[in-house]
A and B are shown apart, each in its own frame.
Chain A
Amino acid sequence: MPNRRGFLKGAAAGAAALAAGTTPAGAQQPASRRGVTVPSASALAEETGPVSSAEVLTADRPGSDFMVDVLKSLGFEYICANPGSSFRALHESILNYGGNKAPELITCCHEEQSVAMADGYAKIEGKPLAVIAHSTVGLQHASMAIYNAYAGRSPAYIILGNTIDATARRPGVEWYHSAQDAVAMVRDYSKWDDLPISLPHFAESAVRAYQIALTPPYGPVLLVADSDLQETPIASDLKLHIPKLTLSSPPAGDMAAVAEVAKLLVAAENPVLLADRAVRTADGMKLLVELAEVLQAPVVGGKFPSHHPLNQAGGRGLIGSADVIVGMEVADLWGTINTVRDQLHRSVQTFTRPGTKVVSISAVNLDIKSNYQYFQRYPETDISIAADAEATLPYLIEACKRLITADRKRTLEERGRKLAAAHEQGMERARTEATYGWDSTPISTARLSAEIWEVIRDKDWSLVGGAPSRLWNVDTVYRTAGGGGAAGVGYSAPGSVGAALANRKYGRFSVAIQNDGDLMYAPGALWTAAHHRIPLMSVMHNNRAYHQEVMHIQRMANRHQRGITNAGIGTTLTDPNIDYATVARGMGVHGEGPITDPKDLGPALRRAMAVVMRGEPALVDVVTQPR
């Protein structure tokens, strides 16, 4: 490929050779005495002599302009980045050639934030948001969020600056920030990557990467944008073409296997549908509802309307009485029907009864890697379908309908009535459970949820961080976004900002229940929300600890029968308590709190809501019970 630096060096060397003759190839120049460097004749000529023509210092159309054309063709709305010199040309092209629109550059304070924002955005929008990261160090920062995206099957699209040509690198930092195979460190937990060496190659691989990211099972992809390829002017005779993007239709299950599953489901007395990650789209939620209603079968987990009578949250009891269990995109099917008791001698407890038929429909086996153990323990199944569950649902619904006789339908309807009654009892139980500790200080998490619900329930809301209470009416797919796929702490704050960014153009009210420990990983996400006017109400679940770890240390202390009062050392965030409202205000975000009296919570939330309704972010710090 043409090399901008090579051209200049060649010109200078040529001029020097003309002025001072040549040095024999391979000869070493002797070191000067006493450290005094005597300029050679050639060096003097280079510095002071006449040049035959003006050095070319500008370029009208760098390769990075074409890269922007490619990004625009893929329909990216935004591109998240923390700035880095390895993509300086692409950065500049986005701003000045691309007009900083589609994609618009979103300034991030950390690459983990950039990728988590992309993950959160995709959870709402169903398509990738682009990220640019800076070579070695940027990707190292981003790696945790990439692992979250991979384990959570989220389609992050990452462009990585890097300088391949060692002779083109500036001394010092640019060497630290270059790698021969930059993507190697995340290849175990990304779906695909490439290192294009020409602009046509870049275009083709960019389109391919997009297609791969959005073929179930989704996953993060990476494309290395070599700095020379970005900065070198496009040759006038180079014919450039951006290939057409055609998204792959998602893989549906084998029809014979689907028919077998339908037989099991229709004949079952107590079937259970585990929905976990089955729903990717709004249509997917409708299909899941249809399947449940056709079968009058309970649904546990996943994106299923919370107030639907067949929603049976917390259905471990149902699993115990089930004769057929169908897991659809269940991230941990084994762990849903079994558990390992966390005592000194670990023992397995199985929730299912003998003879229960277990079915798995999941695309994860179509893209699985060995090293990182995100795939969980091997589940024993009777039928395993390697396919996308949402794409399989229409066929499964039709297969079930064909098998349901009028008699069977009456039986199923009777089951549905019992499940509806159980659902109502569950809702009443949740309401009663919320009263415990209603006026407690620290504030109970149930009170926290109830107060938030009171503020958002008449809005087109979207919970972009944390989990909703059972009492909330989760009635469509974007009401919840879910968490980091690999449970890597630090996802929620930037992930919720990314999801709120996706919600912004629809005028939705984004709210996040934000853990305190999580926020401290990448608090710069708050500044990004303020800077880019991303409306988001973050409500702190501030238990002043990495609470899961408090419990782990307590478990060890109890097991070892010593020091049971020390579990807070190294696990809590006290002395001093972190004043998150002040942290937020320092980053330009409306801050309220710390709220310790439950009576103050509602008014603080309403003040924050007014700010968010104006299109800005707000944070309410609430000191809470641990869980």
Chain B
Amino acid sequence: MRLLILSFLPLMLTAQTPSAQNGRKIFDSYGCYQCHDHDGHGGAGARLAPNPIPFAAFSKYVRQPTGEMPPYTKKVVSDSELADIYAYLQSIPQPPPAKSIPILNH
């Protein structure tokens, strides 16, 4: 938790508390879902949730991706919007264990 607060500190000083609700909305409207699915579980792109990578690494990659992901610069996604998206990813719950799903064990 301490790490999380520190990683959000620059935003907390300048903006409102990140909104997971808005994050979910723009995760779809800004096209994140296209590669990561609507719930951040991955598809053409990597799985982002649950347990997203630290915000600093997340933000750095979104701005300057080293792989195939198209860059989302500040011109199109503000820092506060990025924080909202991150808050949304943090809100995504753990899936059920595989052993609890009968049809995955046949």
CB <8 Å contact, B71 and A627: no
A342 contact set on B, CB distance < 8 A: 68
CB <8 Å contact, B38 and A457: no
Chain B residues 7 to 47 lying within 8 A of chain A, measured CB to CB, are: 29-31, 33-35, 37-39, 41-44, 47
Binds A, one of B53-61, B82-90, B94-102: B94-102
The reply to whether the CB of A170 lies closer than 8 angstroms to some CB of chain B is no
CB <8 Å contact, B104 and A450: yes
Whole-angstrom distance between the Cβ of B92 and the nearest chain A Cβ: 9
CB <8 Å contact, B98 and A551: no
B43 contact set on A, CB distance < 8 A: 445, 625-627
A79 vs B34: C-alpha distance when bound (angstroms): 41
The reply to whether the CB of B78 lies closer than 8 angstroms to some CB of chain A is no
Interface residues on A, range: 35 or more
A438 contact set on B, CB distance < 8 A: 95-96, 101
B5 contact set on A, CB distance < 8 A: none
CB <8 Å contact, B70 and A454: no
Task: Bits for A561-580, please: 1 = Cβ < 8 Å to B, else 0.
Answer: 11011010000000000000
Chain A residues 435 to 466 lying within 8 A of chain B, measured CB to CB, are: 435-440, 442, 444-445, 450-451, 453-454, 457
B70 contact set on A, CB distance < 8 A: 343, 554-555, 558-559
Residue of A nearest to B99 (CB): A431
The reply to whether the CB of A550 lies closer than 8 angstroms to some CB of chain B is yes
Known: A444-B41, A561-B75. A437 touches B33 (CB 8 A): no
CB <8 Å contact, A626 and B67: no
The reply to whether the CB of B4 lies closer than 8 angstroms to some CB of chain A is no
CB <8 Å contact, B76 and A431: no
The reply to whether the CB of A341 lies closer than 8 angstroms to some CB of chain B is yes
CB <8 Å contact, B106 and A437: no
CB <8 Å contact, B34 and A432: no
B77 contact set on A, CB distance < 8 A: 564
CB <8 Å contact, A436 and B47: yes
Whole-angstrom distance between the Cβ of A456 and the nearest chain B Cβ: 11
Residue of A nearest to B72 (CB): A558
CB <8 Å contact, B68 and A627: no
Our pick among B34, B38, B67, B95 for the contact of A567 (Cβ within 8 Å) is: B34
CB <8 Å contact, A454 and B103: yes
A341 contact set on B, CB distance < 8 A: 67-68
B72 contact set on A, CB distance < 8 A: 558, 564
CB <8 Å contact, B98 and A431: yes
B35 contact set on A, CB distance < 8 A: 551, 626-627
A451 vs B105: C-alpha distance when bound (angstroms): 12
Task: Bits for A41-59, please: 1 = Cβ < 8 Å to B, else 0.
Answer: 0000000000000000000
CB <8 Å contact, B29 and A565: yes
A62 vs B13: C-alpha distance when bound (angstroms): 90
A439 contact set on B, CB distance < 8 A: 96
CB <8 Å contact, A431 and B41: no
A558 contact set on B, CB distance < 8 A: 70-73, 76
The reply to whether the CB of A606 lies closer than 8 angstroms to some CB of chain B is no
Whole-angstrom distance between the Cβ of A588 and the nearest chain B Cβ: 31
CB <8 Å contact, A444 and B37: yes
The reply to whether the CB of A547 lies closer than 8 angstroms to some CB of chain B is yes
The reply to whether the CB of A313 lies closer than 8 angstroms to some CB of chain B is no
Known: A561-B76, A562-B76. A437 touches B39 (CB 8 A): yes
Most A C-beta atoms less than 10 A away, residue of B29, B38, B43: B43
Our pick among A435, A454, A627 for the contact of B95 (Cβ within 8 Å) is: A435
Whole-angstrom distance between the Cβ of B93 and the nearest chain A Cβ: 10
B30 contact set on A, CB distance < 8 A: 564-565
A557 contact set on B, CB distance < 8 A: 31, 76
Whole-angstrom distance between the Cβ of B81 and the nearest chain A Cβ: 11
CB <8 Å contact, A431 and B44: no
CB <8 Å contact, B38 and A453: no
CB <8 Å contact, B96 and A626: no
CB <8 Å contact, B76 and A440: no
The reply to whether the CB of A422 lies closer than 8 angstroms to some CB of chain B is no
Chain A residues 522 to 559 lying within 8 A of chain B, measured CB to CB, are: 547, 550-551, 554-555, 557-559
A343 contact set on B, CB distance < 8 A: 68, 70
CB <8 Å contact, A435 and B104: yes
A602 contact set on B, CB distance < 8 A: 103
A439 vs B39: C-alpha distance when bound (angstroms): 10
Most B C-beta atoms less than 10 A away, residue of A444, A450, A454: A444
CB <8 Å contact, A450 and B103: yes
Residue of B nearest to A563 (CB): B76
CB <8 Å contact, A625 and B96: no
Known: A444-B41, A625-B37, A627-B37. A436 touches B31 (CB 8 A): no
B29 contact set on A, CB distance < 8 A: 565
Between A and B, 15 residue pairs with Cβ closer than 8 Å are: A434-B98, A434-B104, A435-B104, A453-B103, A547-B34, A551-B35, A554-B31, A554-B70, A561-B76, A562-B75, A565-B30, A602-B103, A625-B39, A626-B43, A627-B37
Per CB-CB distance, the 7 closest pairs between chain A and chain B, nearest first, are: A627-B43, A558-B70, A436-B41, A435-B95, A437-B41, A554-B31, A625-B37
Extra pairs beyond A436-B39, A451-B103, A625-B38 (4, CB < 8 Å): A435-B104, A471-B104, A565-B29, A627-B43
